[in-house]
Chain A
Amino acid sequence: MTAIPDTSDTAPAPSKAAQAGAPQIKPPLRERLIETPALLPGLTFLLVLILWETLTRAFQVPTYVLPPPSRIVEGFGAVSFARWAEHVWSTFRVAMLGYVVAIAVSLPIAIGLAKSRFLTRCLYPLLVVIQSVPVVAVAPIIIVVLGTDDAPRVVITFMISFFPLVVSMTTGLMATPPELIELSRSLNAPAYREFTQIRIPYALPYIFSGLKISITLSVIGAVVAEFVAADAGLGYFIQFSTSMFKLPQAWAGLFLLVALSLLLFQIVTQIQKRLFPWSLPKETR
């Protein structure tokens, strides 16, 4: 066999070739800046913080309108670490429980929708109706029905985060090349293997985009639930702090919330990267 795999349309290896062939010639500064990891976004964030600090100080913006970052940092100190941990844990727990329930519910629904057009015709309109209900408006009702512990908060989180999962999973399960399904059928294999060995792995890129959207939605869901009824959690803390006019610590809570959301998003991204690298577009592997 003399054929060598044609790399021109598969592996993007020009950077290696450039290093080996002409090490002295540097690409333009602008390109090097773009390629340096974390440099440009980091600088942007720093610049925003500096501008924020100087402008709020220069114009003496009242703290309740927009506290400068330094005051927000002080706001972190206004509350004990144990209290922060309690709030973060509470929000994290509800968000994760709601997320897991959303995954557990949407996968069977998606499999059902992918397998049967009959079921799609019956169920899909119902799902759209559920998705169209403004969850914030239903939240008080859910709390009256389910009480004041975690259950109603988990349900609210679930309601906010499950729809993108159903849609992405169903789309993914339907995206399998029909020939592979025919191959599966021509082998007379057990029907479930069509899903475990073909459809679900094929759907993973879609499933992961759903998982990424839903993880941030589940944090939003937890916060919405806490706004309505809670005695702990970052959402509760922000609402409580603003009602006491303690804006810097409300902002501190908001920052933690963003950090939590980003962290969870990163975890999902890393799981995809480590376990299913082929499910990512080539240039991001």
Chain B
Amino acid sequence: MTLAPPAISFQDVAQVFATKSGPLTALGGVNLEVAQHEFVAVLGPSGCGKSTLLRLTSGLMMPSAGQITVLGLPVTRPREDVGIVFQQPTLLPWASVEENVVFPVKHTKGRVGPAHRDRAREILETVGLGGFGKRLPGELSGGMQQRVGIARALFLNPDLLMMDEPFSALDALTRDEMGYELLRLWQASPKTVMFITHSIPEAVLLADRVLVMSERPGRVIADLKVPLGRPRSEESLRAPEVQEFAAHLRSLLIKPAKPSPKPEAA
């Protein structure tokens, strides 16, 4: 148990992009560790490199400096065992819900077997979309489309689930509903989740741990355990220590500890 490698580990990871106005440091020396089956929320202002963090972890991008390992192995290329849920559902509008869910297999193997179809139906059932498999994405509401996006990410049963502000495009009510839905899914089959968000209540409700990031160049300025057990409900959010925790997060976000403008590797 103690020998299990961390699901995700960043060591002094920096990311610099070439832009027209010169190099842009998105991440300036990030260190973090996520244990297996841990639910970690990454909280930060817009443009702090949260999404870059996610793309680095899934191997869609290579860091300019530093070392990233996933499940003990260095990330050198995109990893199939990382499921990604994007801010927008990003479904294929011409394909039915079921076709969208099996898309990862169709895309890699070129064809889809009956076992995969069964798995797709099963997973659609779990996300509350049983019976909607034949619909087109355009016929579903925004929340339901995002459920399809989640089903697609879970389809290959990934060890890691990366969620990039998955509910931020939804209306407030649907957003809350989807949060509880995600909790339920995660409790039923715990995975390592990296959940990018800029919503404090969302981070507090969902995560075991909250990583707070500074403005660009992004750095982890706080690593805080959420003072809440599981299962969680609306009630548990009202506890005073939780309120206090949320207030603390807010103060970190509003007055971020300004990092030195030229970050040296710590």
Q: Which residues from 80 to 122 on chain B have a C-beta closer than 8 Å to any C-beta of chain A? A: 80, 82, 84, 86-88, 90, 92-94, 103-104, 106-108, 110
> Which of A179, A186, A198, A276 contacts B80, CB < 8 Å?
A186
Q: How far is the CA of A11 from the CA of B135 in the complex (A)?
A: 12
B164 to chain A, nearest CB (A): 8
B106, closest chain A residue (CB):
A197
Q: Mark A176-192, 1 if CB is under 8 A from B, else 0.
A: 01011011111111000
CB of A278 closer than 8 Å to a CB of B: yes
Q: Most chain-B CB neighbours within 10 Å: which of A183, A186, A189?
A: A186
The tally of CB-CB contacts under 8 A between chains A and B is 77
Q: What does the 1/0 interface line of A265-285 toward B look like (CB < 8 Å)? A: 000000000001011001000
- Most chain A beta-carbon neighbours within 10 Å: one of B92, B106, B128: B92
A1 close to B (CB within 8 Å): yes
Q: Are B107 and A177 in contact (CB under 8 A)?
A: no
**Residue from the list B60, B140, B141 in contact with A182, Cβ < 8 A:** B60
Contact between chains at B108 and A189 (CB < 8 Å): yes
When A5-B139, A10-B138 are in contact, do A186 and B58 touch as well, CB less than 8 Å?
Answer: yes
Is A1 a contact partner of B80 (Cβ separation < 8 A)? no
- Chain B residue numbers with a CB within 8 Å of A31 are none
Given A11-B139, A278-B94, residue A3 in contact with residue B84 (CB < 8 A): no
| Chain B residues within 8 Å of A35, by CB | none
Q: Are A5 and B59 in contact (CB under 8 A)?
A: no
**B225 interface contact, C-beta 8 A:** no
A122 to B103, CA, bound (A): 35
Q: Say yes or no: B60 contacts A186, CB within 8 Å.
A: yes
Also in contact, A186 and B84, with CB within 8 A (given A5-B135, A197-B107): yes
**Is A279 touching B94 in the complex (CB atoms < 8 A)?**
yes
- Whether A183 lies near B135 (C-beta < 8 A) is no
Tier of interface size on chain A: 20 to 34
Contacts of B141 in A (CB 8 A): 3, 5-6, 9-10
Taking the complex as formed, is A193 at the interface, i.e. its CB lies under 8 A from any CB of chain B? yes
Specify which of B78, B129, B139 is in contact with A186 (CB 8 Å cutoff). B78
Within 8 A of B (CB), among A181-226: 182-189, 193, 197-198, 201-202
Known interface pairs A1-B130, A197-B107, A198-B92; A183-B84 also in contact (CB < 8 Å): yes
Smallest Cβ-Cβ distance to B82: which chain A residue: A186
Is B136 among interface residues, defined by CB-CB distance under 8 A?
yes
Interface size class of B (residues with CB under 8 A): 35 or more
**B131 interface residue (CB < 8 Å to A):** yes
Of residues 3 to 34 in A, which have CB atoms within 8 Å of B's CB atoms? 3, 5-6, 9-11
Whether B198 is near chain A, meaning CB under 8 Å from some CB there, is: no
Residue of B nearest to A201 (CB): B94
Q: Which residues from B are CB-within-8-Å of A198?
A: 92, 107
CA distance in complex: A184, B80 (Å): 10
Contact status A177-B80, CB under 8 Å = no
Complex Cα distance, B99 from A198, in Å, reads 13
Q: Which residues of B contact A201 (CB under 8 A)?
A: 92, 94
**Whole-angstrom distance between the alpha carbons of A268 and B77 in the complex?**
42
Q: Is the CB of A188 within 8 A of B138?
A: no
B129 to chain A, nearest CB (A): 7
Q: Is B250 an interface residue (CB 8 A)?
A: no
Which A residues are closer than 8 A to B by beta carbons?
1, 3, 5-6, 9-11, 177, 179-180, 182-189, 193, 197-198, 201-202, 276, 278-279, 282
Sampled A-B contacts (28; CB under 8 Å):
A1-B129, A1-B131, A3-B128, A5-B139, A5-B140, A9-B141, A10-B139, A10-B140, A179-B88, A180-B90, A182-B60, A183-B86, A183-B90, A183-B104, A184-B107, A186-B79, A186-B80, A186-B84, A187-B78, A187-B80, A187-B107, A188-B80, A197-B103, A201-B92, A201-B94, A202-B92, A278-B93, A278-B136
